[in-house]
Amino acid sequence: MTTVRHRLTGSIEVALPPAQAFRLFTPRGEQDWVDGWVPHFPDNPDDDTQPGTVFETNAHGEHTVWVVLDREPGRAISYARTTVGNRAGTVAVLLREAPGGSTVTVSYDLTALSESGRAELDAFAAGYPAFLKSWHDTIRAKITGPQPDNPNIAA
């Protein structure tokens, strides 16, 4: 059975303190580690984390419109996002100090807007733990350089 709405939450560890790790989860900061992530800002803001900031992405073959909802620099940021005709909802990132860096909790609350969106959302939900692990691994490689278990990822 497919579901129209999924609320997903998981955490990863990042080997940076929250104040430094925060940038990795901002619109421009994600460019440093997310393949194909190139945010386009209609008004080219100086501060891409300012609530109300609108940007668009064309990552993974999807055009998505994003709006920064709220942020607490160094601690939290949240977004509304819509991939027209597919899914819409929110994404929230919360950073907490942890031994060796930060615990980053990522929460998606997404609703399907079509039958194809429903199938894609169900697949996303089923793969959410692996999705977050890929974030962890990619960020770790970016911060520390290639790891023995994945020598093809360069810093």
pLDDT digits (tens, 9 = 90+) for 94-121: 999 999 999 999 999 999 999 999 999 9
pLDDT of residue 1: 52
Structural element, H or E, at residue 136: helix 128-144
Residue 150 pLDDT: 43
Sorted by where each starts, the structural domains of the chain and their CATH numbers stand as 5-144 (3.30.530.20)
What does pLDDT average to in each consecutive run of 10 residues of the chain (155 residues)?
88 97 97 93 96 94 96 97 96 97 98 95 97 96 69 35
- Confidence (pLDDT) at 135: 96
User: To which residue do tokens 């997903």 refer?
Assistant: 8
Which tokens hold the place of 85? 């005709």
Q: Give the pLDDT score at 59.
A: 85
Distance between CA atoms of residues 49 and 87, nearest Å: 23
